[in-house]
């Protein structure tokens, strides 16, 4: 699925090494064969402090000035968490939109995740806010005439062997590594899914008459020095802020 909401002409030719597919992981945020992003854990990092602040507020007399002051302090704390998260999202989406011409993701069923897995729910809605991330990434790519593709949520990216195409319908959610019964390839669940997501995205690009140009230049894409260095700087900056917050 490719969607457009502005008048900027999308690129009709894309270099192969500027196309990347990511699998979303609650623990690692985004994963591909070459690189892993980290889950910033913005909410969970402050969850205990939030609980203490809520308990402290609940003990204050309703309608009192202390209650109002407590509500204001709690609101400011929530705002601080959200601002850190938004700043991080803007930095990561800017990095991705600068280095890639096409990014391929899964169209995740967030409501289903919230209903059946509270741990994943906290990650995708509170720690890194998947909807906010994809919305910001979309407009930054579209402003540059680049592509954001969402793979159908029912596509078996994790269960399909990226080597031979066999679908392992017996694969359980807690199995992080598995061996293909057809070709005996050892597979990492998340990396395997990212390869399948990228391959499916390539099919969609071709169906939309977008030309893919082969380019073996290793100085660009996820293996490029510039991309890795910029990602390292963003990660370092985040970790410094995290350490300062915990003091």
Would you place residue 245 in the very low, low, confident or very high pLDDT band (cuts 50, 70, 90)?
A: low
Would you place residue 220 in the very low, low, confident or very high pLDDT band (cuts 50, 70, 90)?
A: confident
Residue 82 lies in a domain: yes
Question: Does the structure show a pLDDT above 60 at 4?
Answer: no
> How many whole angstroms separate alpha carbon 65 and alpha carbon 71?
10
- Phi, psi of 182, deg, nearest 5: -90, -45
pLDDT tens digits, residue range 38-88?
888 888 889 999 999 999 999 999 889 999 999 999 999 999 999 999 999
Residue 6 lies in a domain: no
Tell me the β-bridge partners of 2.
Answer: 149
Residue 76 lies in a domain: yes
Residue 122 lies in a domain: yes
Residue 5 lies in a domain: no
The pLDDT value given to residue 115: 64
Residue 21 lies in a domain: yes
Q: Among 55, 24, 20, which residue's Cα sits nearest to residue 189?
A: 24
The pLDDT value given to residue 110: 74
Question: Does the structure show a pLDDT above 80 at 180?
Answer: yes
> How many whole angstroms separate alpha carbon 113 and alpha carbon 136?
21
Q: Which helix (H) or strand (E) holds 230?
A: helix 225-246
> How many whole angstroms separate alpha carbon 14 and alpha carbon 209?
11
DSSP state of 217: -
- Average confidence (pLDDT) over 26-35: 88
pLDDT tens digits, residue range 185-219?
999 999 999 999 999 999 999 999 999 999 888 78
The pLDDT value given to residue 135: 95
Residue 67 lies in a domain: yes
The structural domain count of the chain equals 1
The pLDDT value given to residue 218: 78
Q: Are strands 211-213 and 13-15 parallel, antiparallel or unpaired?
A: parallel
Question: Does the structure show a pLDDT above 80 at 7?
Answer: no
pLDDT tens digits, residue range 109-163?
777 666 655 567 777 888 888 999 999 999 999 999 999 999 999 999 999 999 9
> How many whole angstroms separate alpha carbon 150 and alpha carbon 170?
25
The pLDDT value given to residue 2: 54
pTM of the model: 0.87
Residue 3 lies in a domain: no
> How many whole angstroms separate alpha carbon 201 and alpha carbon 152?
10
> What is the token pair recorded at 36?
């892993």
Give the structural domain span for 22.
Answer: 13-246
The pLDDT value given to residue 128: 85
The pLDDT value given to residue 108: 84
In Å, how far are 114, 135, 177 from 199, measured between CA atoms?
Answer: 28, 23, 20
- The SS3 of residue 160 is strand
């Amino acid at each position: 699925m490719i969607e457009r909401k502005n008048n900027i002409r999308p690129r009709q030719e894309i270099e192969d090494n500027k196309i990347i597919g990511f699998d979303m992981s609650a623990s690692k945020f985004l994963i591909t064969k070459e690189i892993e992003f980290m889950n910033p854990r913005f909410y969970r990092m402050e969850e205990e402090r939030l609980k203490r602040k809520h308990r402290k507020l609940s003990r204050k007399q309703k309608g009192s000035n202390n209650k109002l002051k407590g509500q204001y302090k709690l609101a400011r704390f929530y705002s601080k968490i959200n601002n850190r998260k938004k700043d991080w999202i803007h930095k990561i989406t800017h990095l991705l939109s600068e280095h890639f011409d096409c990014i391929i993701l899964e169209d995740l069923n967030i409501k289903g995740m919230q209903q059946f897995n509270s741990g994943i729910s906290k990650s995708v809605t509170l720690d890194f806010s998947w909807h906010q991330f994809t919305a910001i990434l979309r407009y930054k790519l579209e402003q540059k005439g680049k592509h954001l593709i969402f793979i159908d949520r029912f596509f078996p990216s994790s269960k399909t062997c990226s080597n031979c195409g066999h679908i392992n319908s017996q694969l359980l959610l807690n199995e992080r590594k598995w061996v293909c019964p057809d070709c005996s390839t050892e597979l990492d669940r998340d990396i395997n899914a990212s390869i399948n997501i990228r391959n499916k995205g390539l099919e969609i690009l071709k169906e939309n008459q977008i030309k893919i140009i082969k380019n073996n230049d290793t100085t660009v894409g996820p293996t490029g020095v510039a991309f890795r260095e910029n990602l390292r700087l963003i990660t370092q900056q985040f970790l410094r802020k995290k350490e300062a917050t915990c003091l």
